[in-house]
Amino acid sequence: MLDQQKCGVIALMRSALTGEKIALAEDFDLVSAAKTAKRHQVGAAMYYGALNCGFSNDHPAMQALFMITCQYVSFGEQQRYEIESVCAAFDRESIDYMPLKGTLLKPLYPKPEMRVMSDADILIRTEQYDRIRPVMQQLGFTEKLESDHELVWQKGNMVIELHKRLIPSYNKDYFAYFGDGWRLAKVESGTRYTLSDEDHMIYLFTHFAKHYRDGGIGLKHMTDLWVFLQKNPNLDEKYIEKELKTLQLNEFYGRVMETLQAWFGGKPFDEMTEYITQTIFASGAFGTVENRQLSQAVKQNKAVGSAEKLRRKRIVSLIFPGVDALSQRYPVVKKCPILLPFFWPVRWVTALLFRRENVAFQGRQMKNVTPDQIDSHEKALQYVGLDFNFKE
C-alpha cells in the first residue's frame, strides 16, 4: 500500500493545481516532503499546495520552499525574456522554429513558477543552422556542444537546446515514428510552428515514456500530462489511441492515465497505479544512474543475445570506444575519424593517470549489472507495458 507520506506529497501537488484544500495525515512530514520536492523540481508547486492546506510560512520547511519558489520566479522571468528574444530574432530572420515541452507547458500552470525548466527546447531545421548560429551569437549565447538530437547554447545560467529532431535517433522505435518532427508541424504564425493538440499530447507522452524506460521520470512530468489534459479536454482520443498503438505505447498510456486519476481524480489506487507511483517517486526528476545503466543493458542484451556477450562487448567498447563516444572528449576525432586508433592510447593514459576513480566506477558498474538484474529490469518495464522495440 502507498504510504501516507507519498499520498501527502500527491495531495499537495493536487492542491497546487486545483486550489482545493486537502486534509493530510497527522504524521505527514513537510520537511521530508520538501526534500522530495527538491529532488523532483516541484518546490513551488509544493509550496502553494502547502499554503492551501493550512501550513504557515513560519514552518521551517515552508521557508525553504518559499526560497525555492522565489528562485523559480526569478529564473523563470529570465528564461521568458531570453526565449522571447530568440523567437523574435528567428521571426525577423525568417528562420523556422517550433517551441517544445516546458516552454509551452509552463504558461498552462496556475502559476508559471510551478513548472521549472532546466533549459528551453526549440525545434529547428538543421539546414538553416548556418543562419541560426550568427543570430544566437548576436543575442549573446555561446555554442557549447552538439549531441545526437540537440545543439546546446548558453548565456550565463540560461540554456537553450536547439533540437535537430523531436526524439533522439537512438530511441529507434520512437524516432521511426516522429522522424525529425517537421512532418507534424503546422504554421502558427510567420515562421513559428506548432503541433496539433493531439500530436502535442502524443509527443509529450512519448517523451514521458522515453524517460521512464531509459532510466526514470519524475513528479513534474506526471503533472505536465495532467495539466495539458485539463487545458485540452476535447482531444480526439481515437486518433491518440491509434497513433500510440503504432508507437506500441497504448498499454502504458492506459496505465499512466489510470495513475493520473488516482493522483488527481480521486480514483482508488490499485496494484498497477501504486507500482507506477512508487517507481516515479524513486526516480527523482530524471531517473537514476542505476536504472539508466540497466535500461542500456536491456537494449544491448536484446541486440547481442546474451548477458555474457553483452559483458564482453561492453569491455571492448570501454577499451576501444567508437568515434561518437571518443569525439565527446576529443572533437577532432569526429572531424577526422581516421585518427581514432591514435587516440585510444591517449585515452588509456589519461584514464590511468587522471581518471582512476572513473575507471574504478565503470568496473564496479559492470560487476553490479548482473544478468539477473537485467532480466528483472526488463520484466519491470514489460509489467507496465513498455519494451525496447528495436535492435541496436
* CA angle, residues 377, 379, 384, in degrees to nearest 5: 105
Q: Which residue type occupies 128?
A: Q
Q: Residue 41: which H helix or E strand, with range?
A: none
Contact criterion met (CB below 8 Å) for 103 and 122: yes
Residue 189: strand pairing partners: 192
Overall average pLDDT of the 366-392 stretch: 81
Find, among 49, 77, 73, the residue nearest to 62 by Cα: 49
Contact criterion met (CB below 8 Å) for 333 and 343: yes
Q: What pLDDT is recorded for position 294?
A: 83
185-210: per-residue pLDDT in tens?
999 999 999 999 999 999 999 999 99
Pairing of strands 158-163, 97-100: unpaired
First to last CA, the chain: 38
Question: Which cell goes with 340?
Answer: 581514432
Q: List the single range of 27-36, 137-146, 257-266, 290-299 with lowest mean pLDDT.
A: 290-299
Q: Residue 99: which H helix or E strand, with range?
A: strand 97-100
Helix pair angle (271-283, 250-264), 10° resolution: 90
Distance CA(80)–CA(74), nearest Å, equals 10
Q: Is the pLDDT of residue 334 over 90?
A: no
Contact criterion met (CB below 8 Å) for 102 and 117: yes
| pTM reported for the whole predicted model | 0.85
Q: Is the pLDDT of residue 315 over 70?
A: no
Q: State phi, psi for 70 to the nearest 5 degrees.
A: -60, -40
Long-range (24+ apart) CB contacts under 8 A made by 183-188 are 185/98, 185/123
* 161 SS3 class: strand
In this prediction, residue 109 has a pLDDT band, given cuts at 50, 70 and 90, of very high
